[in-house]
Structure 1
Amino acid sequence: MEKRRIEWVDCAKGIAIILVIIGHTVNNGKYGSNLRGMIFSFHMPLFFILSCMTFKCSENVEQYKEKTIRAFKHLVTPAICVFGLEIIIECSRNINLLFDLNYWKQEAYCLLFASGVEVEFNGFKVRGIGIPWFFFALFIGRIIFDYLHLNFEEKQLGILSAIICTIGIFFGNTQWLPFSLDIALAIMPFFYCGYKLKKVDVKHWALKKLFIWSIVWISTLYITFPDYNNWTYLELAMRRYNLFPICYLTAVAGTMMVIEFSVLMCNKLNKIVKPIMYVGKNSLYLLCIHAMEYNWYKIWYIENHQFYSAIKRTIVDLLIFIVFMCVRNIINKKVRKDVSL
């Protein structure tokens, strides 16, 4: 039996993934920088929090092994596929790269660190893998939290998450670890928040809580991001943990704000937000498409018009996403039909 999905969770993810695309586009001037900071202050933590909220922790070692294998297939495999496709496209444009040992050394290090941005290691500059860093961090972070849940008492999870987070931030400020492990450690509090959120009735007094969380988010964001010229907000891929733990409070407050807004939208405008819920349900596919979009960069980019570019970029990514999902559904129906025969 298929697990019944939570509509407001899909709605929140749908909103967040669209904000991801916009946040990766706008960054210039006062308005662009401010909008980017507002989005980046919570957009990735939201996915980590909701991921653990909908995740059922393992009850024994066998379950833990099974969940780890499934998570690897669901998260790491797509990331490696995106990475492989990038190499294939790049080599097809320059066939000489196939015989360039330095190129393959660079790509090997790139996959090893799986960092969203460039890493310096032992005097060697390793290019960033880009968006797939998120898949590695989510996979490793969640299996670590699941392990903690399996081996420690619930009252110890909060303290352990804080300690592990501190270790991750330490490495983020000194030497970044392979497979974005330092980020996976640093995001433990977000998984803990998602775990505790399971017991919270977010639908009760949604409008009132939306207002309260909005005030908390705006207030704490202003503390960490007072000047648009300086990107001092939380940025996980860059390992920016400015004014920790205030930036984490901002991330949680922003996430809760989107959650309560999504609850209200699903209650009042359910039919209208159905497309957003569908996008949220399949947000990882859209994220993979977004990771590959430099190949059609010229289609959506409008020089000196970052906001128009953001709108056009979102539309283009969504159109490709729709085509991909249609093809995927056709293939799945054909496979099911063949199996039934």
Structure 2
Amino acid sequence: MSERNASIDIAKGLGIILVVFGHNWIIAHDHGELFRIIFSFHMPLFFFLSGAVLHHDTAFRDFLAFKADALLKPFFVVLSVWGLARIALSGVDARSYLLGMLYATGNTIEWVPLWYLPHLFLAMLLAWLILRLANRLHAGLLLPVFCMAILLAAGIAFIHMLSQLDAQQFAGLNLWLGNHQGNFPGLPWNLDLIGISTAFVLLGYVMHEHVMHFRFQSWIFTMALLLFTALHFFFDETIDLNMRVYGNRWISTAQALLGIYLLLSVSTCLQYTGKLGKALAYLGASSLFIMIFHSWIEWKVFAILARWISFNYLNASLAFLAGLLLPLLLLSLVKKNKFLHALLLPARHIPKLRTGL
């Protein structure tokens, strides 16, 4: 099952647009309603899509090597190069920077969105182990579904428990890791989120055939949209995994599932729109690279424009375009250079694997 699916690439393209927009000044400066809507499903969507293309019928060593190459390599390369520059030019403390990078949570690294990469690595490995166990026990999808439910319930309960912790208890740890926000930094590699993320990965795997052959049904789409809107209107829960926020377990989970369904429905329709569909699919195929570089680019562009233009919404709109398009330009340059390709992109030929991102 190594074929690319256009609707999945389009879904990732729409998802990465939401990620870039979600980190934009327009959304981030007040964490208003748009923030709550986007964040209620955009990260569960990426875990879900990673599960939908997960292949567990390969040797663990090969799976481990590919995922490390695709996810961990760019994480450590980018943050190491950035860290050397920051240490040399800005006098950043080398020890706390290195420890924060190794700890690898959004609170301990300077390029916050990169927390997703090592955590997805862990979630994919755990999902692989569960699926392999199910295969050996001849349990079919029963064991993955059971583990999915248990992991999600435990993961949400754990996040709610962590939200009650006194941040002062972690002052020493935060100083050690360079976490200047003063809150609980999370467990290393965001292990405290592993239940939630792996649950959505497993859900994507369980729903693989439905996703690959997804059909738009107008009446279900309409009902899902009305329910999604009603839940936000009456309850307005959201999810921010990096900040350890997961609202009411039932409402937030329902909003996430409905958001995923709605975006898959839209993606299925957009694959027949010619150039627009192809452009979105290209964004989706490049989503990992955009994920890595978008935030620094759009906030740097926003800061530069703010020196000359006082209209923040215009600056933020231009910064959004820069955060979405400049990583694509950088990606095209990286692909043409063998050295940069080896540093930042997965190996060209990985047999018997459905690539995740």
The alignment's TM-score, normalised by the length of structure 2, stands at: 0.78
AA aligned opposite 1:33 = G
Of the structure 1 ranges 153-162 and 206-215, higher mean CA displacement relative to structure 2 is found in 206-215
Could you tell me which of 236, 251, 254 is aligned with 1:249?
Answer: 254
Q: For 1:119-138, what aligned pairs fall within 5 Å after superposition?
A: 126=108, 130-138=112-120
2:276 aligns to what SS in structure 1? coil
CA distance in 2, matches of 1:51, 1:29: 30
Report 1 or 2 for greater relative contact order, CA contacts < 8 Å, sequence distance ≥ 6: 2
Q: For 1:94-105, what aligned pairs fall within 5 Å after superposition?
A: 94=90, 96-97=91-92, 103-105=93-95
Aligned: 1:192 with 2:179 = no
Q: CA deviation at 1:105?
A: 3.2
Aligned: 1:308 with 2:314 = yes
Report the RMSD for the aligned CA atoms in angstroms: 2.8
Q: Are the counterparts in 2 of residues 140 and 184 from structure 1 also a CA contact under 8 Å? A: yes
Gaps in structure 2 of 5+ consecutive residues: 163-183, 342-357
Q: CA deviation at 1:36?
A: 1.1
How many pairs were matched up? 309
The 1:80/1:333 distance shift into structure 2, 3 A limit, reads: closer
CA distance in 1, matches of 2:224, 2:305: 34
Could you tell me which of 64, 70, 74 is aligned with 1:68?
Answer: 64
1:55 aligns to what SS in structure 2? coil
The 1:75/1:334 distance shift into structure 2, 3 A limit, reads: closer
The answer for the alignment partner of 1:325 in structure 2 is 331
The answer for the alignment partner of 1:263 in structure 2 is 268
CA distance in 2, matches of 1:171, 1:113: 19
Aligned: 1:161 with 2:148 = yes
The alignment-based identity, stated in percent, is 21
The alignment's TM-score, normalised by the length of structure 1, stands at: 0.81
Q: For 1:175-254, what aligned pairs fall within 5 Å after superposition?
A: 176-200=186-210, 203-225=214-236, 232-254=237-259
Could you tell me which of 279, 288, 295 is aligned with 2:292?
Answer: 288
The answer for the alignment partner of 1:48 in structure 2 is 47
Q: CA deviation at 1:135?
A: 0.7
The 1:204/1:171 distance shift into structure 2, 3 A limit, reads: closer
CA distance in 2, matches of 1:129, 1:321: 15
The answer for the alignment partner of 1:38 in structure 2 is 37
Q: Are the counterparts in 2 of residues 224 and 242 from structure 1 also a CA contact under 8 Å? A: no
